Structure 1
């Protein structure tokens, strides 16, 4: 209570002394000496080829805000970019479009940035003429930063859309309530929508939370989310007709739960791919996915012996529970990716209390040497289907509801996007639209 009163008093004090600046160029922004509670407004008009540097030290009670006079109308075009550097800074209502970056990532929260936020902001079709040019649209360094209620769509050139970069210390970032719109297939590696870490930093803890985001037809490459670090939480996201997967590519002790994958039988739509140690995959919902092998609804890979950081590490101690898989082409792939070099089977893997509804074989053994611990699972399958021990055959009587979701007894996916705002306040991207 004492801390709350102090924050309130501090906020009142800064509110009295705060200044609002209306500016017309990046040069004007750089000249400002910003104090807690200050607000900078980009005037309506032409913001072309502007390299904005937003720096300062706000406080929890009185952050410094950078916004636009008309969110969604005021546009940053040409070669405009934004560097954010400081503490308790808020970027609200920017819109990058009709241009591309020449050198830098479009929005960067630097290594010196903490407790800061990018919200209500969009980067749409901000593409280099050369699709081989690699820059990210949003790069998160520092720690305790947040990206929320943003709209990122149409990235057609090389490079991940949003990257969390690691350091020696965990970053504790939060990425939530964003709309990631269509990303066309790139044709090469590097087309992820979100990447958390890199192979070389993959054994470091990140503690990033990715939640309540929509991924709509994010087809850039096989990984829509590429997890390459430890102790992250990936929960309650919607993957709609994505020819890609949520991949636990590197790192250990990650948790993926409450996610919804709707494929609508679109080609190569995938689910969750598991690599590494102590991964928890539970309470996810997979519907009408057509991916197989590495893109199956749930894919458990074989690993490489003596792996280096860029390798596929052996799966150990994975717990896969209470997931629901409905009418997917390949529900569970065990030992996916096995070849002459990659042959270490998953160890101590638990698959319990899951429900699979399919007219196909529910389990595909790519590597028959894998020993799985099956228990309490339900399979709604044709009579005579061969099942491992730990499955009970049960008719579920499923049917689709008005939202196009298969209704499974005892399972109720959280359709968060129906009652929670996702994306900027000034626009409403349409699910499924191109």
Structure 2
């Protein structure tokens, strides 16, 4: 008898812990569910109009709770639909937001309590209020250790950041990777960033957010495509393709920017990296055929404001700019960009070292010639250079090698495939074109 009872108890334990699948047709049906680790909620294909989806639960690392489109890309959230992700180890997969808009808030909102949650394989396309001055975000990342990956965002025309990381008293360690940020037209004012990590008022808080292997195509909402406004973030191995907007270290300190590609193809106003603040490390990036100048130069070191407040342009200190390859850019290095009688503090203890520039004239544009910069072991490759290189630059009467895909190689660098030619970017179901010709 005891053996039978014990066996029954083991079976009951096994059944109690067994994950379940639920198929739903509305946000109301999701709200009625009590979800356990390992459960999956499948959203039926079709148009889900005006659905306020709240996805709550607490999964585990081994057994996350999943909300997914039964047929990826075929569950279309329209009208004023939105999604809140609120819990731990929650995974959202395969949704599409189209044919709608909001009047405020967020299309997708990771709550302040969210942790180890993930949005993947999802698209938000042309989700625009008819009034372009209406401010709302497409994705807000709160909480901690959340991830947005393999998503597609395209066509945001109204006020507000496409994807924003909000800060708190503790670092959040978010990850933003393998997303395709498609065209965002010029907004004509501030508030058109594609990604912003933090806010000015929280900019001296650590975030430790990583932004990597994303594509930014024609992201021109405002001057800043990626706006760093917090400390200790890493922005690496991304492609900025024909973007007027720059990767801007706007507020906060200790950012590392490396392995990124900036391809301008000679398009008007295309820019690179803009540096403001302290202890930034900008290295091993690739810049080609950019036409931007001053604050939109390939690498721009800004002048600072005296007695700055949190929203000001802070003085550049201890920046290290090294091992970057800059090819055929109109203004490779802009020194003291944005200088005026009220914004005049020079960069301090800033080093440009071992950069390689392909150009036929000086790579330096001085907006304040009183600034003292330490230039070391930089090389200029040119067959027809005019003038004498400045101190810290050596002229090489040579050409750098070019690969079949149009990208150039540093001397001694083996041929390689950039990440967008070898790595899946965006949702599987969207079948996006990730061919980016270098003209």
Q: What is the TM-score with the length of structure 2 in the denominator?
A: 0.93
**Range that drifts further, 394-403 or 51-60:** 394-403
**Range that drifts further, 14-23 or 347-356:** 14-23
1:18 equivalenced with 2:19 (yes/no): yes
Gaps of 5+ in 1: 1-11
Residue equivalent to 2:98: 97
Whole-angstrom distance in 1 between the partners of 2:385 and 2:133: 51
CA contact (8 A) 2:179 2:214 kept: yes
Go from structure 1 to structure 2 and tell me whether the alpha carbon gap of 1:21 and 1:59 turns closer, same or farther (over 3 Å shift): same
Residue equivalent to 1:85: 86
- Aligned to 2:339, what secondary structure does the other structure show? coil
* TM-superposition CA deviations, 1:376-406 (whole Å, max 9, x none): 1101243342322111101342354321213
Whole-angstrom distance in 2 between the partners of 1:15 and 1:109: 29
Mapping for residues 162-173 of structure 1, pairs under 5 Å? 162-173=163-174
Whole-angstrom distance in 1 between the partners of 2:26 and 2:177: 30
Structure whose alpha-carbon radius of gyration is higher? 2
CA contact (8 A) 1:236 1:414 kept: no
CA contact (8 A) 1:240 1:432 kept: no
Whole-angstrom distance in 2 between the partners of 1:49 and 1:429: 27
Residue equivalent to 2:224: 223
1:424 equivalenced with 2:433 (yes/no): no
* TM-superposition CA deviations, 1:15-48 (whole Å, max 9, x none): 9611111000001111111100000011112300
Residue equivalent to 2:393: 391
- Shift, 1:417, TM fit: 0.9
* TM-superposition CA deviations, 1:186-205 (whole Å, max 9, x none): 11111110000000000000
Whole-angstrom distance in 2 between the partners of 1:281 and 1:170: 22
CA contact (8 A) 1:329 1:360 kept: no
- Aligned to 1:106, what secondary structure does the other structure show? strand
- Aligned to 1:35, what secondary structure does the other structure show? coil
Cα root mean square deviation, aligned: 1.6
Mapping for residues 38-187 of structure 1, pairs under 5 Å? 38-187=39-188
- Shift, 1:428, TM fit: 2.5
* TM-superposition CA deviations, 1:146-191 (whole Å, max 9, x none): 0000000110111110000000000000000000001111111111
Whole-angstrom distance in 2 between the partners of 1:400 and 1:265: 17
Residue equivalent to 2:361: 360
CA contact (8 A) 1:139 1:162 kept: yes
Whole-angstrom distance in 2 between the partners of 1:243 and 1:13: 57
* TM-superposition CA deviations, 1:58-102 (whole Å, max 9, x none): 000100000011111221111100000000000000100111123
Whole-angstrom distance in 1 between the partners of 2:216 and 2:123: 15
- Shift, 1:14, TM fit: 9.2
Go from structure 1 to structure 2 and tell me whether the alpha carbon gap of 1:276 and 1:23 turns closer, same or farther (over 3 Å shift): same
CA contact (8 A) 1:396 1:408 kept: no
Q: What is the TM-score with the length of structure 1 in the denominator?
A: 0.95
Alignment partner of 2:418 out of 389, 396, 415: 415
Whole-angstrom distance in 2 between the partners of 1:244 and 1:103: 24
**Range that drifts further, 406-415 or 236-245:** 406-415
Whole-angstrom distance in 1 between the partners of 2:53 and 2:118: 16
CA contact (8 A) 2:204 2:230 kept: yes
Whole-angstrom distance in 2 between the partners of 1:84 and 1:383: 57
Mapping for residues 152-301 of structure 1, pairs under 5 Å? 152-301=153-302
CA contact (8 A) 1:81 1:104 kept: no
Residue equivalent to 2:403: 401
Gaps of 5+ in 2: 1-12
- Aligned to 2:227, what secondary structure does the other structure show? strand
Go from structure 1 to structure 2 and tell me whether the alpha carbon gap of 1:387 and 1:40 turns closer, same or farther (over 3 Å shift): same
- Shift, 1:244, TM fit: 1.0
